[in-house]
Amino acid sequence: MQGLYLQDKQLHYRSNLASPIPKPHEARVKVHLAGICATDLALIQGYYPFSGILGHEFYGEIEEAPNAPERIGERVVGAINISCGQCPNCQAARPTHCDNREVLGILNHDGAFADYLCLPLANLYRVPESVTAEMAVFTEPLAAALAIVEQTPLRPQDKVLLIGAGRLGQLIALCLKQTPAQVQVVARYPEQQALLSAQSIDWINEQAAQRQRFDIVIEATGNPSGLALALDCVRPRGKIILKSTYKGSPEVDLSRIVVNEISLIGSRCGDFTPALRLLAEGRIDPRPLIRASYPLSQGLAAFAQARQAAAMKVLLTP
């Protein structure tokens, strides 16, 4: 099996990897498409000490399922958190925070940048026939974007600022467009601005963002400077929703958060069901974000393109 393997913060293409063997409760999936995201890039930079096959955004087909042969041939996407079902968090209906969790391509579980992967059957969601492969590969990040509005329902009077218009930021903007809130997006690069304009989403530059005027600020830049801008723009007793994961420990003015009584909300993964519904209904079409597709054998070149400033979605194929 071929795949992209991360070891000691170095990414390697390997053509002699062992194909995974599914456990009784798992399925083996033939990967047809996989997407490179900011987390993959951060892992190479040392965000988390992972060694193994990278990748967690994917679309594929079930090829082997020891305990569910009726599911063979299903077009699927997969939730990335693999939980034990037994720990206190699992028993309290918080499986994505399982004490013993593995995370596809991120924590103790080989990922999607390979010909095959294995996941529990419970993690695999059938893709509706109306959803193309190029749409389905966005299910995981779209679900993460939707988690924001699931955590914090938005009202017509809410003034919302989204900081960051990259791969995830664009999906968040599309999700915010589905709400009645008043939304502006800080977009730095012309391509980001053009994508937002094409969807009739209001974008501004950093200097135009009003200070201390927004009820809710969403930080999705992946850069500590985005958090600093969020603190500048959120009103007293407002909310900051954090979508970025940062390498190291960025400096934060905690006194300012206390004095202004600001609520900080972390937001990570989301439910695949509403994401697939939006895709199937055609209410969100992420395909304009795709900029390139590379075979796995050219995976290092794909990562080089994905690292470029303002790069949108780069896909990998077998």
pLDDT tens profile 5-18: 999 999 999 999 99
Question: How many Cβ atoms from other residues are within 10 Å of residue 235's Cβ?
Answer: 17
Say if residue 146 is in the same domain as residue 134: no
CA distance 316 to 318: 7
Same domain, 105 and 211: no
Residue 278 placed within a domain: no
Count of domains observed in the chain: 2
299 and 225 in a common domain: no
pLDDT tens profile 58-116: 999 999 999 999 999 999 999 999 999 999 999 999 999 999 999 999 999 999 999 99
CA–CA separation, 226 vs 50, rounded Å?
26
Verify that 43 and 170 share a domain, yes or no: no
Identify which of 257, 220, 231 has the alpha carbon closest to the alpha carbon of residue 37: 220
Residue 69 domain-assigned (yes or no): yes
Least confident of 30-34, 216-220, 295-299, 309-313: 309-313
Residue 274 lies in a domain: no
Is 262 in the same domain as 313?
no
Q: Do 20 and 134 fall within a single domain?
A: yes
Do 121 and 70 share a structural domain? Answer: yes
Residues 125, 152: one domain?
A: no
CATH number at residue 297: 3.90.180.10
Domain for residue 19, yes or no? yes
| 311 and 207 in a common domain | no
Provide the pLDDT for residue 291.
96
Of all residues in the chain, the percent with pLDDT exceeding 90 is 93
Q: In this predicted model, what pLDDT tens digit does every residue of 26-43 receive, in sequence order?
A: 999 999 999 999 999 999
pTM exceeding 0.85: yes
In this structure, the answer to whether residues 51 and 152 fall within a common structural domain is no
Tell me the residue range of the domain where 151 lies.
142-266
Pairing of strands 159-163, 182-186: parallel
Alpha-carbon distance 184 to 69, whole Å? 48
Q: φ and ψ at 242, to 5 degrees?
A: -100, 115
Residue 318: CB atoms within 10 Å:
16
And the tokens for 235? Answer: 């009103």
Q: Is 271 inside a domain boundary?
A: no
Is residue 185 very low, low, confident or very high in pLDDT (cuts 50, 70, 90)? very high
Residue 186 sits in the same domain as residue 258: yes
Instruction: Count, in order, helices (H) and strands (E) of the chain.
Output: 10, 18
Same domain, 255 and 178: yes
Report the CATH number at residue 257. Answer: 3.40.50.720
Query: Do the domain assignments include residue 26?
Result: yes
Query: Is 91 within the bounds of a domain?
Result: yes
Q: Which of 20, 28, 112 is nearest to 67 (CA)?
A: 28
- Is the CB of residue 147 less than 8 Å from the CB of residue 242? no
